[in-house]
Amino acid sequence: MIAGWSHEIVLAATILSWFIIGTGLAQTTIYLLQLVVAGYALSKRPPVARSALLWQRYSDVAPPIALLVPAYNEALNVVESVHSMLALEYPNFEVVVINDGSKDDTLQRLIEAFKLVKFHRPYEEALAHKPIRGLYSSPMTERLFVVDKENGGKADAQNAGINVCRAPLFCVIDGDSILEPDALMRAAQPFIDDPERTIAVGGTIRIANGSKIEAGRVREIHLPRRLLPLFQVVEYLRAFLMARLAWSSINTLMLVSGAFGMFRRAEVVAVGGFTKGSMGEDLDLVIKLHRHMRDMKREYRIQFIPEPVCWTEAPETLSVLARQRSRWQRGALECFFRYRSMLFNPRYGRVGFLGFGHILVVDVLGPVAEVLGYILIPAFWLLGILSAEYLLAFTALIFTYGVCVSVCSLILEEAELQRFPRARDLAVLTAAAVIENFGYRQLNNFWRVKGWWQFLRGNQGWGEMTRTGLSGTKK
Amino acid sequence: MWYIWDLSILLSVVSLVIMLFLIARRMLQERRGRAAADQRRQLLTALIAFTENRDREALKVRLLGVPAGIAIDAGFEFISLLRGEERDDVLVAFNECGLPARVGRQLQKGNVADRIHAAEMLAALGSEDASASLLSALAQDRSREVRIAAAIALCDLGSLPLLGTALDFIGVAGQRSRRLIELFRRFPRSRFNELAVHASRADASPFVRAAAIDALARAGGFGFADFFAGLAGDAAPEVVAAALRALGLTGHAQAPAILKRAMENDDWEVRAAAAESAGRLGFPELAAPLSRLMDDEVWTVRYAAANALRSFGQSGERLLREIAASEVSRSQRTASLILAEGPAL
């Protein structure tokens, strides 16, 4: 260290560096532990039966499911999406599309494609939402209902769908996503095997950019050709295969994705449904379910199972991705502070300690500490306030452990699931898992800090999520 | 601090080496996968040809010429499409090639998914020693899903041990699975009394008892009506609701009184089940209690009651219209909604 820096400055820099490195270490330790737990959970999971066998085995006892599809300005994709949902392989389900006051001709396209007619259907007004303008049914299929309501946001639309649906289970899915034909059957399995305790099940979200899509089905799986969605493929693997599987195996799963999640209606109604105006309505709902079940001292399971797959379109431009990530960050912060009384609260057991502890380290402190580190640690080293050891430790936490965690997620995927069809895909993904730590990860953290800033300023906007539509072929 | 750096380099290098190994493994698998797909296709072609020419020897040559896993897998898929004599002929060929013995080994040594599948295949193949293998799986397998699959397969083969013993083998955790409903629905008529005994056991789980009642109601018919009527006074609401639903299917001389009493039960699921059964049986004396139930605090009960009245035909519709035209209340709103259900005019 260069002489001349006052003791106070060195001490302050050292404390700050320890905070940054300590947070990074905590985050990395959590990731490595998640990898171990997820690896163990995956190895204990049996290889999965083929769809035809699942049908033979479970179709007689499969519970009815309502598929809730909120649609806002989805005219581009909605008809094809609904066609593909109606063709899902499940014995007893209905599709409830909720047109959330779209400004485009989403409703008109549905009316024309399915010859919809106005319909009266009694339903329980268990959850509050914006007024419903009309219900529609189709003479072409008794499985389809369309709810036309005033605009109130995604959570509001989902609440309207929960009110209108009659099945004991409902599955939420984004209007522009594509479910694999057997996804409902696979997601329903925990509700069949353990119907009394299972209250929510999440499946895997995969990125469809680059894959060949025809008639609302993913016909050929390919990796995205652009770098940005390719990095997101690795990110999604980390998020689903590592984090969610690990937390699920110890019943501490804090997030069932709003893009594809199945819930028991009674419990969701009991917690008041989705929270309106929330940036992270899916995270919010799962936290509410944990709190409710623990307050009631009831045994329950919230599970993630990797096999049911929902395909979605990932943002391909930096501006759209930045908006999405900032919004996700605001959603996490909003939920963390809304339910902060659960943090380290013994009443909520491992949900309070592990689940909320994870949000604290990874979502609340993580991005701020890391971005501070990008600036301060090299600066302290250049100014001679800190030794090279600190710089190396920080570099290890940002880059090399990052590579290890990303590649290990890919190892889990390949060792247990093998969903990427070609060896070449694996090689490309391995390269992406290394490269994403040099630039993409840092960019992501800047967006998350921006989300923090927006949260502090009370910015509640969702921002436009520009989509090009999945209905085409390869992009 | 150095150890953080050193460990990170070590872990990254190890993970990359493992990944490279997995990529190499995948390249080999791709090659083998293509060969396996070819063999499977050839076997399915041979099976289709067999249904036309019944040349068993040719089929056996083909069956023995492919790896056992492929023969078992494609064979089971194929026989699930066949019925009658054709199926029996294919099964004979499978038995002569020793496929059931291989499936039996899979039941012992495969992973959980393989073992469940093996149990299903053994039931379909129906070989002589299938029951012994399945009994052993029911008693000893460490996975409850496999034990349930073995019980279902044994039931199909007519070799399920006494229900109490089978459920003991399945274990308490397994007795929460909806797959038990399937097991009970496959019960042979000659053993319905076992279901009845279990349904009336106060120490058994209400879920299992309700599943047993449901199976008896579907297949047992009026012969069990007295039994269901007795269970309608049980302490467990889940059992009472199942008994009421069963009474709705079978009917009973005392049904109106039982249902009327159940409509005042504290548990909403019991009240809803009573309303549902009342609608199915259509006793006019239940119209009044049903119209009272339309003021219930739980929507599901109100809806079931209104629906029941609607299924009474003209008299029910008339009553609903009267309620809908009365002063604003919960009953009035429910009646209006039910009457409006259907295409808007």
Q: Is the pLDDT of residue A390 over 80?
A: yes
What is the tens place of the pLDDT at every residue in A28-72? 999 999 999 999 888 877 666 677 788 888 888 999 999 999 999
Q: Is the pLDDT of residue A113 over 90?
A: yes
Shared domain check, A312 and A201 = yes
Tokens 């920080």 identify what position?
A394
User: Is residue A350 assigned to a domain?
Assistant: no
Give me the pLDDT at residue A468, please: 58
User: Is residue A353 assigned to a domain?
Assistant: no
Of B88 and B306, the one with more pLDDT: B306
Of B24 and B1, the one with more pLDDT: B24
Q: In which band, very low, low, confident or very high, does the pLDDT at A464 lie, cut at 50, 70 and 90?
A: low
Sign of CA dihedral A58, A61, A63, A64: positive
Q: Calculate the average pLDDT of chain A.
A: 91
Instruction: Find the mean pLDDT for residues B118-125.
Output: 90
Chain A residues inside the 8 Å CB shell of B145: 193
What is the tens place of the pLDDT at every residue in A203-221? 999 999 999 988 788 889 9
Shared domain check, A34 and A110 = no
How much is the ipTM here?
A: 0.87
pTM, two decimals, is 0.89
What is the tens place of the pLDDT at every residue in B3-27? 888 899 999 999 999 999 999 999 9
User: Is residue A281 assigned to a domain?
Assistant: yes
Sign of CA dihedral A373, A379, A381, A385: negative
- Which of A61, A396, A404 is nearest residue B15 as measured by Cβ atoms? A404
Q: In which band, very low, low, confident or very high, does the pLDDT at A463 lie, cut at 50, 70 and 90?
A: low
Chain B residues inside the 8 Å CB shell of A422: 30
User: Is residue A404 assigned to a domain?
Assistant: yes
Least confident of A52-66, A311-325, A419-433: A52-66
- Angle at which helices B2-53 and B84-96 cross, to 10°: 120
Chain B residues inside the 8 Å CB shell of A193: 145, 176-179
Q: Does B80 touch chain A (CB under 8 A)?
A: yes
Residues in chain A: 475
Domain count, chain A: 2
User: Is residue A414 assigned to a domain?
Assistant: yes
Q: Is the pLDDT of residue A473 over 50?
A: no
How far is the C-alpha of B81 from the C-alpha of A39, rounded, in Å? Answer: 38
Q: Is the pLDDT of residue B149 over 70?
A: yes
User: Is residue A310 assigned to a domain?
Assistant: yes
Of A230 and A124, the one with more pLDDT: A230
What is the tens place of the pLDDT at every residue in B175-216? 888 999 999 999 999 999 999 999 999 989 999 999 999 999
Shared domain check, A191 and A114 = yes
Q: In which band, very low, low, confident or very high, does the pLDDT at B69 lie, cut at 50, 70 and 90?
A: confident
Instruction: Find the mean pLDDT for residues B71-84.
Output: 85
Q: Does A299 touch chain B (CB under 8 A)?
A: no
Q: Is the pLDDT of residue A278 over 50?
A: yes
- Which of A61, A117, A396 is nearest residue B4 as measured by Cβ atoms? A396
Phi, psi dihedral angles at A214 (to 5 degrees): -135, 135
CA nearest neighbour of A284 among A254, A317, A249, A329: A254
Shared domain check, A264 and A194 = yes
Q: Does B171 touch chain A (CB under 8 A)?
A: no
Span between the terminal Cα atoms of chain B, in Å? 77
User: Is residue A471 assigned to a domain?
Assistant: no
Q: Is the pLDDT of residue A471 over 70?
A: no
CA nearest neighbour of A323 among A451, A178, A143: A451
Shared domain check, A390 and A294 = no
Shared domain check, A378 and A329 = no
Chain B's closest residue to A424, CA to CA, is B23
Q: Is the pLDDT of residue B342 over 90?
A: no
Contact present, A79 and A110 (Cβ < 8 Å): yes
Least confident of A329-333, A383-387, A409-413: A383-387
Chain B residues inside the 8 Å CB shell of A133: none
Residue finishing a domain among A293, A308, A342:
A342
Q: Please report, rounded to a whole number, the percentage of residues in chain B having pLDDT higher than 90.
A: 60
Q: In which band, very low, low, confident or very high, does the pLDDT at A337 lie, cut at 50, 70 and 90?
A: very high
Q: Does A119 touch chain B (CB under 8 A)?
A: yes
Shared domain check, A397 and A310 = no
Residue finishing a domain among A342, A370, A390:
A342
Q: In which band, very low, low, confident or very high, does the pLDDT at A2 lie, cut at 50, 70 and 90?
A: low
In single-letter form, the type of residue at position A1 comes to M
Shared domain check, A186 and A234 = yes
Any idea what DSSP says for residue B175?
T
Q: Is the pLDDT of residue A465 over 70?
A: no
Q: Is the pLDDT of residue A469 over 80?
A: no
CA nearest neighbour of B210 among B224, B228, B191: B228
Shared domain check, A404 and A334 = no
Give me the pLDDT at residue B74, please: 87
Give me the pLDDT at residue A474, please: 44
Q: Which two tokens stand for residue B287?
A: 């119209």
CA nearest neighbour of A46 among B303, B64, B149, B304: B149
Shared domain check, A303 and A245 = yes
Give me the pLDDT at residue A46, please: 64
- Which of B23, B149, B182 is nearest residue A427 as measured by Cβ atoms? B23
* Range with the largest mean pLDDT of A292-296, B73-77, B124-128: A292-296
Q: Is the pLDDT of residue A472 over 60?
A: no
Shared domain check, A299 and A157 = yes
Domain with A451 in it: 7-43+358-456
Sign of CA dihedral B207, B212, B218, B221: negative
How far is the C-alpha of A15 from the C-alpha of B263, rounded, in Å? Answer: 69
Task: Find the CATH number of the domain harbouring A106.
Answer: 3.90.550.10
Chain A residues inside the 8 Å CB shell of B9: 396, 400
- Residue A309's DSSP bridge partners are A204
Q: Is the pLDDT of residue B78 over 80?
A: yes
Shared domain check, A293 and A404 = no
State whether A63 and B178 contact (CB < 8 Å): yes
What is the tens place of the pLDDT at every residue in B308-335? 999 998 999 999 999 999 988 889 999 9
Q: Does B299 touch chain A (CB under 8 A)?
A: yes
User: Is residue A469 assigned to a domain?
Assistant: no
What is the tens place of the pLDDT at every residue in A348-380? 999 999 999 999 999 999 999 999 999 999 999
